[in-house]
Amino acid sequence: MYPPRFAYEAPRSLDQAQALLAEYGDEAKVLAGGQSLVPLLKLRFAAPAMLVDINNVPDLEYHRTASDGSLRVGALCRHADLERSTLLAQFPVMASAAPLVADPVVRHRGTLVGSVCHADPQGDWSAVLLALDASIVAVGPEGRRTIPMAEFVLGPFTPALRPGEIAIEAVIPPPQHQPAGSYFKLERRVGDFATAGAAVAVEMDGSRVTRAGIALTGVGTLGTRATAAEEALTGHELTDGSIAEAADAAAESANPQSDHRGSAQFKRHVVRTFVSRALHRVLDAPAGKAA
């Protein structure tokens, strides 16, 4: 309930923030929305020497569609902004995930980029961004680089950020065809971490799947990409048969642990069910209005 002592700076530019990170190295932590970090401080599970609060860094609150059609989400864009955004129409899996992250109050302060950087295997956005082939833009001592989501999480709570690097943006590439899909999450109550979740992002050319991204939440120590399930769909007509095949493949690619939220077998089954439901929702949507 009472955080330990730490030094604190709230730089007004990215350069200043980077300088602080360079100075303090591993002893520094970046504070954005703070909805994961501050609870860890309160429980004294984290004890950084320096907190670099980036909330005063200008021009990071945005989310916008770039000229190439990609969605850009700045490091200080709050979940609640996405929840209410009209720009997510092109990214239906994000639109369905946004209201399921944490709880409504936390969503007003927590950020998408921060949540991805926290790299919790049970975090919702990581799976969603993985399914969308998104990437994270970071700036650091060696300049600016773009890290694909598939390479961004090295392990539980371990993002692929180098010392001194700050994640400043998530880039979600534009769909080439009609985007569809949704995020399903089994939570025991609002605000709970996922027992299991599935992000299903497809693009449709008529009834044919031109792209499929399927990623899972809470069923592996790393973000789980259901590659075999994607392959079962890509380039094929979406049918009951292909859906069943994809759902089975997704369940197969899950690597859940049994815990007090449920057995591995149960979680695997939930994955199968969710992938199937998400795809059926696409199949059942009226033509031209893919779900």
Query: Can residue 10 be called a binding residue for other proteins (CB under 8 A)?
Result: yes
CB of 139 to other proteins, least distance (A): 22
Write the binding mask 17 to 56 for other proteins: x where contact by CB under 8 A, - elsewhere.
--------------x--xx--xx-xxxx------x-x-x-
Tokens of 76: 């200080």
Please, which residues have CB within 8 angstroms of residue 225's CB and are 6 or more apart in sequence? 130, 131, 150, 213, 214, 215, 216, 253
Please, which residues have CB within 8 angstroms of residue 234's CB and are 6 or more apart in sequence? 209, 210, 211, 212
Distance (Å, rounded) from C-alpha 225 to C-alpha 229?
9
One residue of 19, 65, 72, 103 binding other proteins per CB under 8 A: 103
From 69-77, 181-189, 224-232, 283-291, give the range in contact with other proteins by CB under 8 A. 181-189
Task: Give the total residue count for the chain.
Answer: 291
Torsion of CA 83, 190, 224, 182, to 10 degrees: -50
Q: Which is nearer to other proteins, 90 or 257 (by Cβ)?
A: 257
Query: Can residue 191 be called a binding residue for other proteins (CB under 8 A)?
Result: yes
Q: Which is nearer to other proteins, 51 or 95 (by Cβ)?
A: 51
Coil/strand/helix, residue 145: strand
Query: Can residue 261 be called a binding residue for other proteins (CB under 8 A)?
Result: yes
Tokens of 54: 């980036």
Contact footprint for other proteins (CB under 8 A): 1-8, 10, 31, 34-35, 38-39, 41-44, 51, 53, 55, 78, 80, 84, 99, 102-109, 186, 188-193, 195, 257-266, 269-270, 273
